[in-house]
């Protein structure tokens, strides 16, 4: 196998890390190793990036984390798998490998070494439990959103030949001109399959399972099982890995297990917006974040869909430094619960309470001012209309009152063009990487 010079250096670097790490007893645990794919070598050194926080917190937890792909040309979603196999070949076969994205993943461990180590132990235990019936499977994360655009261009059975194991069809690259979203029979087939599988695996009613769709941002498995998956996957650099991996699970169901309970891997729900979709809460930087709906503490949290506002709030909630890619008002969106917003640099409980009181007072003042301005504007508008109507002399006083009672508000905060309207902040996304199927996508009626 031929390597680029950059990749060869990284392979040797991992070998050196693995070999030399054993000389320093207790520095890094040898049963788990995180591999993160990132082509931009500068991100690790920037103090406010997710990758920097991940590496910093993993070192405190004794979790060996290696970044690979630095200075390589990015070609597409399937690129990381091209460079993964040579790394797997040199890692001890008894080491559990976690493959993670680097720009939107957070290590959910607190600033407490004992708790951090316990969280990793719990992850390993969960892996063994969920793969008990499929001992050679790879575990992937599950999310509430379906589906990437590439999946509208293929049926679940199109990618793999169940007899020969060969690839029958290549996935397009979601978001490109030839790989736009389309609501069609293919999408209905994917949705039916994923819901049916979730019901079969969990025994729960379909409507009670929120995170039913495969997400390729996080996965875990032992080297030989991951290499076997890569062999069957046979993915090209420009293919959408989420589509191909879901197709592989359709044809070879025993090769993949999904973490439906968000016990190992947590995914936010970006289609619901910051207030409802950042589904984690915290009790301070000395404890991990908890999933609001499943009440679990996943070791890693992923924010797919470029949900950077949620990502940065999560980092800050755990005591890290972020790029603050959220609107300032997001700090007060979810202060009604023990939430991420309460952890954004506000310190202990006294500081939290003081900040909340200050925010509430400011909000009350702003609200009163807005109401007063609205009342003045309404009075002026009413006076103008009354003057116009009285000039014409055609409408009674009762009709004037009825007019103001039923007058439509087509452009208000919740109207067609307002913040939450058809084209507002949380409007549907039909042509992005994901389609417009959100948290509670229903199976099509037969």
Instruction: Give the pLDDT confidence score for residue 207 in this predicted structure.
Output: 86
Question: Residue 75 pLDDT > 70, yes or no?
Answer: yes
Distance of alpha carbon 171 from alpha carbon 149, whole angstroms: 10
What Å distances lie between residue 169 and 79, 155, 193, CA to CA? 18, 10, 19
The percentage of the chain sitting over the pLDDT mark of 90, rounded to a whole number, equals 57
Distance of alpha carbon 92 from alpha carbon 224, whole angstroms: 10
What confidence tens digit (pLDDT) does each residue in 198-232 have?
A: 999 999 998 889 999 999 999 999 999 999 999 99
The percentage of the chain sitting over the pLDDT mark of 70, rounded to a whole number, equals 67
Question: Residue 91 pLDDT > 70, yes or no?
Answer: yes
Where helices occur in 266-325 by DSSP H, the ranges are 273-277, 308-317
Instruction: Give the pLDDT confidence score for residue 165 in this predicted structure.
Output: 86
Instruction: Give the pLDDT confidence score for residue 384 in this predicted structure.
Output: 54
Instruction: Give the pLDDT confidence score for residue 370 in this predicted structure.
Output: 60
Question: Residue 124 pLDDT > 50, yes or no?
Answer: yes
Looking at 243-252, 412-421, 428-437, which range is the least confident one? 412-421
Tokens 């008990």 locate to 132
Average pLDDT, the chain: 77
Name the more confident of 367 and 250: 250
Instruction: Give the pLDDT confidence score for residue 403 in this predicted structure.
Output: 34
What are the DSSP calls for 353-421, one per residue? HHHHHHHHHHHHHHHHHHHHHHHHHHHHHHHHHHHHHHHHT-S-HHHHHHHHHH---TTSTTSTTSTTS
What Å distances lie between residue 26 and 63, 72, 399, CA to CA? 11, 33, 83
Question: What's the average model confidence in pLDDT over 138-152?
Answer: 96
Handedness of CA 57, 62, 63, 68 (dihedral sign): positive
DSSP H/E element including 172: none
What confidence tens digit (pLDDT) does each residue in 268-327 have?
A: 999 998 888 999 987 767 789 999 999 999 999 999 999 999 999 899 888 899 998 888
Question: Residue 5 pLDDT > 50, yes or no?
Answer: no
Strands 300-302 and 105-107: antiparallel
Name the more confident of 331 and 71: 71
Distance of alpha carbon 344 from alpha carbon 50, whole angstroms: 15
354 band by pLDDT with thresholds 50, 70 and 90: very low
Question: Residue 195 pLDDT > 60, yes or no?
Answer: yes
Question: Residue 374 pLDDT > 50, yes or no?
Answer: yes
Residue from 102, 139, 128 nearest 229 by CA: 139
Domain boundaries, the chain: 5-270
Name the more confident of 71 and 256: 256
Residues in the chain: 446
Structure tokens at 101: 């994205």
């Amino acid at each position: 196998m031929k390597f680029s010079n950059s990749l060869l250096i990284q392979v040797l670097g991992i070998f050196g890390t693995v070999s030399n790490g054993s000389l320093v007893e207790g520095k890094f645990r040898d049963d788990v190793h995180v591999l993160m794919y990132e082509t931009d070598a500068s991100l690790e050194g920037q103090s406010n990036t997710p990758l920097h926080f991940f590496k910093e917190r993993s070192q405190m937890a004794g979790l060996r984390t290696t970044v690979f792909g630095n200075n390589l040309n990015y070609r597409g979603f399937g690129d990381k798998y091209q460079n993964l196999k040579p790394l797997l070949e040199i890692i001890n076969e008894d080491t559990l490998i976690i493959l993670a994205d680097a720009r939107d993943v957070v290590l959910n461990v607190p600033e407490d070494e004992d708790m951090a180590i316990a969280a990793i132990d719990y992850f390993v235990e969960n892996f063994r439990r969920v793969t008990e019936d499929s001992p050679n499977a790879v575990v992937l994360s599950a999310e509430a959103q379906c589906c990437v655009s590439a999946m509208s261009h293929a049926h679940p059975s199109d990618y793999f030949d169940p007899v020969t194991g060969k690839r029958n069809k290549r996935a397009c690259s979601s978001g490109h001109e030839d790989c736009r979203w389309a609501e069609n029979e293919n999408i209905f087939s994917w949705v039916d399959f994923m819901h049916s599988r979730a019901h079969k695996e969990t025994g729960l009613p379909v409507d009670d399972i929120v995170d039913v769709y495969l997400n390729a941002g996080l996965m875990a498995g032992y080297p030989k099982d991951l290499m076997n998956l890569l062999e069957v996957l046979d993915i090209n650099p420009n293919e959408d890995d989420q589509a191909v991996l879901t197709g592989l699970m359709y044809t070879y169901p025993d090769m993949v297990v999904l973490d439906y309970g968000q016990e190992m891997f947590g995914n936010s729900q970006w289609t619901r917006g910051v207030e409802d979709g950042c589904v984690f809460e915290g009790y301070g930087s000395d404890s991990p974040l908890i999933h609001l709906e499943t009440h679990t503490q996943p070791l890693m949290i992923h924010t797919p869909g470029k949900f950077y506002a949620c990502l940065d709030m999560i980092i800050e909630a755990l005591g890290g430094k972020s790029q603050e890619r959220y609107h300032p008002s997001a700090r007060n969106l979810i202060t009604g619960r023990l939430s991420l917003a309460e952890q954004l640099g506000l310190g202990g409980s006294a500081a939290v309470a003081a900040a909340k009181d200050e925010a509430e007072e400011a909000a009350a003042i702003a609200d009163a001012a807005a109401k007063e301005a609205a009342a003045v504007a309404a009075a002026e508008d009413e006076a103008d209309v009354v003057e116009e109507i009285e000039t014409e002399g055609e409408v009674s006083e009762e009709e004037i009152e009825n007019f103001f009672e039923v007058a439509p508000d087509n452009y208000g905060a919740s109207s067609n063009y307002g913040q939450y309207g058809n084209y507002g902040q949380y409007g549907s996304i039909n042509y992005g990487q994901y389609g417009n199927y959100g948290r509670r996508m229903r199976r099509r009626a037969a």
